[in-house]
Each structure stands twice: as C-alpha cells, then as structure tokens.
Amino acid sequence: MRTWARRHPYLAAFLGYVTVFLVGTAIWLAFSARDPVGTVIRGLTNSAIYWLIAVVYVRKTREQTRRLNEHGEMRAFIRYPDSLPGSLSGIWNPGIVTPAKGTLQFQPTVSEDLEPSGRSTNFSVGDISERWTISGKDRKYLPSAFGYEAVTLATDKGRVELAAGPESLDLLPGIRPAVGRDGG
C-alpha cells in the first residue's frame, strides 16, 4: 500500500480526503443538531481546503526531489546514536546528502526550502548496515516519517544513522532492502 501511495501521491491524497470527508460528515451528522445540508457543505469545504494544501505540498516535495536528483543529492536526516542522552546530536537533523564512492557529504538545512545552515560535514564511510524501517520512538523529529528507512554507517567520525525515503536510499551504493529494526 505504501509503495502504491508513493507512486500515486495525488490519488492517494484524494482517496484519503474522500474518506476523511465521509467519516467526518457522518460524525457531524450523528452528533450535531445542525441541518444536514449545512453539515455536508461544511464537510466539502473543509475537504477541499485540505486537498489544496496536500496538492501544494506534494508538488513542492516532488520539485525539490527532482532538483536534488539532478545534482546527485538527496534529502536525508542524520543522527549519532552513540551520543549522550538528551544531546542534540542524538536527534534526527535534516540536510542534503551528496553521496560519492566511499564518502558522504552532509549539508545541514534549516527549512523546508532546503536552505543551508552551518557548514557541511564529510564522512568517510567504511561499512553500511542493512536498511531498517523507522518506527515508534525513532520517528521523533522526522517530518512525515511514515515510510522512512535508515541505515547505520561506520564512518571516520563514529557510528552515524542516515534516514531517508526508500527511493533516496537507493542512490547509495551497496544498500540492501529494508529489514526489521533488530537487523540493523
């Protein structure tokens, strides 16, 4: 289902909002003393607004992905799993990763427009674990983290976890398909 939704984001969003409209309108009709016509119009209006927001978001995300792919880059998140508890290094930090043979360059970004913040870090990568699907508490600080996968990298700067969409991780050489968390 996730693969289908990634391939057809507009249709998936439309079906999701039709479902939200039907369920929401049914709840409003069941528990509201309002007239049914007004409730249906309100549900349609809300669904149309949500649909427009989703379309703008999907277009922007696809355009960013296309622009990054043209330059051999990908949007990703890194964290250092061996950092002290509560450290900012232990949370997922957004950025742009430029993979090359045996190295990765990570440029931190601060906004959805992928504006660089701070200086970039170069990692010499020695080993890459199998992919694992991000779930539960690992999703914290990741936007739209459903469907993200991660790998653990053995680098010259210690262990680093790199999270991205499956299509982005396909750009990294030598990555195997996703497994459960205990496989990474």
DSSP 55-79: HHHHHHHHHHHHHHHHTT-EEEEEE
Q: What is the CATH number of the domain that holds 77?
A: 2.30.29
Residues 76 and 141 in one domain: yes
Q: Which of 106, 101, 86 lies closest to 160 in space, CA to CA?
A: 106
Q: How many domains does the chain fold into?
A: 2
State the number of CA atoms in the 13 A half-sphere of 27 facing the CB: 6
Residues 133 and 50 in one domain: no
Q: Give the Cβ contact number of residue 59 at 10 Å.
A: 12
Query: Between residues 174 and 116, which one has the greater pLDDT?
Result: 116
**Residues 79 and 52 both lie in one domain:** no
Whether the pTM exceeds 0.85: the reply is no
Enumerate residues 6+ apart whose C-beta is below 8 A from 142. Answer: 77, 92, 134, 148, 163
Residues 36 and 126 in one domain: no
Taking a C-beta distance cutoff of 8 angstroms, is the pair 58, 40 a contact? no
Mean pLDDT taken over the chain: 80
Residues spanned by the domain of 139: 72-183
My answer on whether 88 and 117 are in the same domain is: yes
Q: Which of 49, 68, 87 is the last residue of a domain?
A: 68
Strand ranges inside the chain, DSSP E: 74-79, 93-100, 103-108, 121-128, 132-133, 149-155, 158-164
Residue 167 contacts residue 119 (beta carbons within 8 Å): no
- Specify whether 37 is located in the same domain as 101: no
Instruction: Name which of 118, 156, 150, 114 is nearest 135 in CA terms.
Output: 150
Q: Answer yes or no: do 98 and 166 share one domain.
A: yes
Question: If pLDDT is split at 50, 70 and 90, which confidence band does 106 have?
Answer: very high
| One domain for residues 91 and 135 | yes
pLDDT of res. 145: 54
Whether residues 165 and 85 share a domain: the answer is yes
Listed residues 68, 87, 103: the one ending a domain: 68
List, for residues 9-40, the tens digit of each pLDDT value: 778 878 888 888 888 888 888 887 778 888 88
